[in-house]
Amino acid sequence: MTDLPPHVITNPRLGSWVAVAGGVDGGMVEVRVGKAELGQGIATALAQLAADALALPLDRIRMVAPHTALGPDQGLTAGSLSVLQTGPTLAHVGGVVRALAGPTSPVAEYVARIAGLDPTLDLTTVEPLAPVAAAAVGRSEPRLDLPDKVLGRPRFLADLRPEGLLHGRVLRPPSVGAVLRSVPDGWTLRDGSSLASSGTGKPGVTLVRDGSFVGVVGEREADVDRALEQLRGDSDWDERDLLPDPDDLPGWLRSGTHEEVPVLDEEGAPGPGSDVVEASYSRPFLAHASIAPSAGLATWTDDGVHVRSHSQGIHGLRDAIAAALDLDPGTVVVEHVENAGCYGHNAADDAAFDAVLLARAVPGRPVLLRWTRPDELTWGPLAPAMTATLRARLEGGRIAGWSHDVWSQGHSARPGYSGHPGLIAGADLATPVPLPPSTDPPLAAGGGTTRNALPAYDVGPRRVVGHRKTDSPLRTSAMRALGAHLNVFAIESFMDDLAHTTGADPVAFRLDHLADPRARHVVAEAARIAGWGEELPEDTGRGLGYARYKDRGAHCAIVADVEVTDDVVVRRLVVVADVGRVVNPDGARSQLEGGATQATSWTVKERMAFDRRRLLGTDWEAYPVLRFSETPEVTVHLVDSDAPSTGAGEAAQGPTSAAIANAVHHALGVRVRDLPLDPAAIVRAIDALGG
C-alpha cells in the first residue's frame, strides 16, 4: 500500500467521500469533502481534482457541502491548505474507485458501477490505481457557485425559509465587559404587541433569557427588530472602562503578561546596541468586515439539534455546542451553508450558537438568527493588534545578523481552542462557559503571532521570539494570514531600510540575500513586469514586497505604484506568484487579486477605533473600507510549476502592505511604520523625522 493521505486514515469510509444520486443514465457522482466554499471558489477547484481522480467528465461531478453526519472531518477550511490536503485524498479515493469500478464507456455504465460499491468500504484496505492524465485540472473552469449568486437564487444561509420559520435577534452588551443588571420581562412593545417570556405560549415576540444571554424570537422579522431596539433601550447594564489607551497600542501590547513563543535563537544574533540598525512597526485591531452580517439557523427537537452555519469548521462547532450545553455530540448535526465571505474566524460560529440557544426555547421550530451590522463589526473576533521590533547588523553592505521580536494577542479563539467551546454567548449563560485568552496554532502548523517572522533571506545568525499577550479584554482570533501580515510588512519594510542604508537598489539588495531560485524568480519577474527603475511622475512611488507564506507555501512578490497627495492612492499592483501546480488558473488569480485588494484596504484605511469603554467602528462610516472606486489595477502572473499545489488566498497580504509602504517611502522620502498609512500616520512620521 502506498503512503496514505492523513485525511484518508481519519476518514476511511468510502461513503463519506463518494455517492451516486439520480438514475443511472443521468446519475451524478456526489463528492463530499470537509472543506467549505467560503466565496474563494474552492468547490470548483476540488470538483476538478475529483473529476480527474475518478476519470469522469467534470459535468458528472456534484460537490456536496460539508455535513457532520454525512461527510468527512477535514478540520478547518483555513490556512490556504484545502488543495494541499484534499488533492492527495481525492486522488486516493478516486484511485480506489477506479480499481473497483473500472472506468468504461459509456460513462453511465461506469457511474452505475460506482453506485454499486459498498459505502462502508475501508479505503485503507484497497490499493488505488495510479492517477490518470489530467483533463480538468489546469483549466480555468467556470465557478460552480456563481450562477446562483449572480441570478439572486436563494443560495445563502440568510435566504433560507424552511416551514415554520421564526426569526431571532440577540441583545449584545453596550460595551466590552458590561454586566446585565436587569431586563424587562413580559412587557409590551410600544406598538401594542406583547413580548412574552419563553415558554408562556403567549402570542407576539418571545423573550429568551439564560443568565445575561437575552434574545427575542418572533414570526415576523420586523417585530423582532423592534423588540431588540426596545430591549436595548430599556435594559440596565453595569459598565466599566476596560480598554487600553487607543493612542498607545504598541505600548499596551508590550506591557502586562505574556507567553513567550521562542522560534529561533542562534549564537551571534544581534541585541540592542549602537552597532545595529533597529526599527519598530505596528498595526491596529482589524475587523473582518464581511459584506453581510453573520447568521445561523437551528432547529431543536427531542432527537437533538440541527444547525446550519457558514462556519469554517463545522465539526469543531458541533463539538463546541455539545460541550457548552452538555449534550451528546452525536445529537448535534451541523451542515455548512454559504453566507457572506469569510476571511478567517468571524462571527459565524457565534451566530450558530445564538440560534441554538433561541431554538431551545421554541422546540420544533427552525430559528434564523442574524446579527446586526454593529454586532458584526464590534462583537465578532478581531484580528489582533501587533507590534514588532527588528534589528540587523550590517557588514560590507550585507546583513550579518538579524533579530525579530513581535508582540500580539493570540490568533486563535476558534471553537474548541484550549479545550474550551469558545463561543461568545457561552460566557453569558447562567452556568457560564468562560472564554480563556486567545492562543496560537502550533508552530508546526505555521504559528500565529510568529507566522512568517523568520526572514526568507540569508541574514547570518538569527533570533526570532514572539510575545503573546494574555491579559486583554478584547477577543481576537484568526484573520487572513494571521501574524504573517504584520511580520512580512515589518521584514520587507526593514529590508528596504537596510537597502537604503547601504546605498543599494531594494530589488538588487533582496536578490543578493536570496538563495531559493523560486523566490529569486518571483522577485525578479515582478520587478521586470512592473518596470522597476523607470522614471515615475512626481508624487508617485514604487515599492516591492516578497514572502513565502508560512515559509513553505506560495511564493509571492508584489510591486505597488502609489500616488501620495492628500491621501495614499494605490494605482497599480503587479503580483507574481508561484503556487506550485495550478488547479484552476482563474481561481488562483482571483484569490491573489482579492487578497491584494483586501490588504490594500488594511494598509491605507482600516482601523478599529475605540475609547476606554467600547469599540466605535459600528458602521461603514466609522470603520471605513476601500471603496470600489478606490481599488487599484491588479495584474496577476502565475509561474508555471510542477511543485505540489499550495493555496493562494493568504499569500498576498503581507507583501501588499509592504510594497505600498515602500512605495510611500519612495514617493516622500519618509518611512511610515505604523498602519494604516493614512494622512495622520504620514504627518506623525514627518513630524518625527523633523524632531
Would you say residue 60 has pLDDT above 50? yes
Least reliable range by pLDDT among 185-194, 270-279, 318-327, 419-428:
185-194
Residue 196 has phi, psi (to 5 degrees) of -95, 145
Average pLDDT over residues 91-98: 97
The answer to whether the beta carbons of residues 682 and 627 sit under 8 Å apart is: no
User: Where are the chain's structural domains?
Assistant: 6-151, 158-239+290-379, 386-411+447-690
Q: Would you place residue 293 in the very low, low, confident or very high pLDDT band (cuts 50, 70, 90)? A: very high
Residue 209 has phi, psi (to 5 degrees) of -140, 135
Average pLDDT over residues 605-615: 97
The answer to whether the beta carbons of residues 559 and 543 sit under 8 Å apart is: yes
Would you say residue 1 has pLDDT above 80? no
Residue-level pLDDT at 191: 46
Average pLDDT over residues 664-689: 93
Would you say residue 184 has pLDDT above 90? no
Residues of the chain with pLDDT > 90, as a percent, come to 87
Would you say residue 201 has pLDDT above 80? no
Residue-level pLDDT at 187: 56
Reduced to 3 states (helix: H, G, I; strand: E, B; else coil), residue 260 is strand
| 575: CB partners within 8 A, 6+ apart | 526, 556, 557, 558, 592, 593, 596, 634, 635, 636, 637, 652
Q: Would you place residue 295 in the very low, low, confident or very high pLDDT band (cuts 50, 70, 90)? A: very high
Query: Bigger pLDDT: 316 or 25?
Result: 316
Q: Report DSSP state, residue 426.
A: G
Tell me which of 3.30.365.10, 3.40.50.970, 3.40.50.300, 2.130.10.10 is the CATH number of domain 6-151.
Answer: 3.30.365.10
Q: Would you place residue 192 in the very low, low, confident or very high pLDDT band (cuts 50, 70, 90)? A: very low
**CA angle, 636 then 638 then 643, to 5°:** 150
What CA dihedral angle connects 529, 532, 533 and 539, to 10 degrees? Answer: 120
Would you say residue 226 has pLDDT above 50? yes
Residue-level pLDDT at 196: 53
d(CA 682, CA 562): 14
Residue-level pLDDT at 131: 94
d(CA 209, CA 92): 49
Q: Report DSSP state, residue 383.
A: B
Average pLDDT over residues 328-333: 97
CATH number of 386-411+447-690: 3.30.365.10
CATH number of 158-239+290-379: 3.30.365.10
Residue-level pLDDT at 202: 39
Q: Would you place residue 203 in the very low, low, confident or very high pLDDT band (cuts 50, 70, 90)? A: very low
Average pLDDT over residues 27-56: 96
Residue-level pLDDT at 195: 56
Residue-level pLDDT at 565: 87
d(CA 67, CA 9): 19
Would you say residue 661 has pLDDT above 70? yes
d(CA 648, CA 554): 6
The answer to whether the beta carbons of residues 554 and 680 sit under 8 Å apart is: no
Residue-level pLDDT at 662: 98
Residues 447-462 pLDDT 10s:
999 999 999 999 999 9
Q: Report which of 197, 205, 209, 201 is spatially closest to residue 222, judged by C-alpha positions.
A: 205
d(CA 447, CA 339): 28
Residue-level pLDDT at 686: 87
d(CA 198, CA 206): 6
